[in-house]
Amino acid sequence: MGTAAPRRHVTVLALTAAGLLAAGCGSSPGDGAPAATASQGGGGGTYTIWDPYPQHDKSSDWAKLLDTCGAQAGVKIDRTGFDTTDLTNKTLLAAQQGNAPDVLIVDNPVVSTMAEAGVLTTTEENKLDTSAIAPNLLAAGQSGGKTYGIPIGANTLALYYNKAVLDKAKVDIASVKDWASLTEALAKVKAAGKKGITFSAIGTEEGSFQFLPWFWGSGAQLTKLDSPEAVSAVALWTDWLKKGYAPNSVINNTQTTSWQEFASGDFAFAENGTWQLGNAKDAGFEYGIIPVPAKDGGTAPAPTGGEFVSIPVQKDTARYATSQKLVSCLASTDNSLATTTALSYIAPTEQVQAKQVEQNPDLKVWVEAVKAAKGRTSDDLGTKYPKISEPMWGAVQAALSGSKDPRQAMTDAQAAAASATQ
Q: How confident is the model at residue 341 (pLDDT cuts 50, 70, 90)?
A: confident
- What whole-number distance in Å separates Cα of residue 84 and Cα of residue 204? 16
DSSP, res 305: B
Task: Check residues 411 and 275 and name the one with the higher pLDDT.
Answer: 411
Q: In what order do the strands lie in the sheet with 287-290?
A: 195-198, 267-273, 157-162, 287-290
Same-domain check for residues 42 and 164? no
Same-domain check for residues 104 and 163? no
Domain total for the chain? Answer: 2
Give the chain's end-to-end CA distance (angstroms, integer): 25
One-letter-per-residue 3-state SS of 175-194: HCCCHHHHHHHHHHHHHCCC
- What whole-number distance in Å separates Cα of residue 185 and Cα of residue 181? 6
- Report whether pLDDT(4) > 50: no
Which residues are bridge partners to 307 per DSSP? 107
DSSP, res 328: H
Same-domain check for residues 139 and 187? no
Same-domain check for residues 283 and 164? yes
Which DSSP string do the residues of 320-339 spell out, in sequence order? HHHHHHHHHHHHSHHHHHHH
Q: Which of 120, 45, 29 is nearest to 78 (CA)?
A: 45
* CA-derived radius of gyration, the chain: 22
Please compute the mean of the pLDDT values over residues 342-351 and round it to a whole number: 91
Position 416 in a domain: yes
- What whole-number distance in Å separates Cα of residue 129 and Cα of residue 132? 8
- What whole-number distance in Å separates Cα of residue 352 and Cα of residue 128? 18
> What CATH number is associated with residue 312?
3.40.190.10
- Position 1 scores a pLDDT of 31
Same-domain check for residues 256 and 405? yes
| Residue range(s) defining the domain that contains residue 270 | 157-302+382-420
Q: Quick one: CA dihedral 123, 356, 352, 57, positive or negative?
A: positive
Position 285 in a domain: yes
Position 1 in a domain: no
Same-domain check for residues 357 and 321? yes
Which DSSP string do the residues of 190-235 spell out, in sequence order? HHTTSEEEE----SSHHHHHHHHHHHHHTT--TT-TTSHHHHHHHH
- Position 15 scores a pLDDT of 41
Return the half-sphere exposure (C-beta side, CA atoms, 13 A cut-off) of residue 287: 28
Position 2 in a domain: no
Please compute the mean of the pLDDT values over residues 370-389 and round it to a whole number: 93
Average pLDDT, the chain: 90
Q: How confident is the model at residue 23 (pLDDT cuts 50, 70, 90)?
A: low
Same-domain check for residues 163 and 213? yes
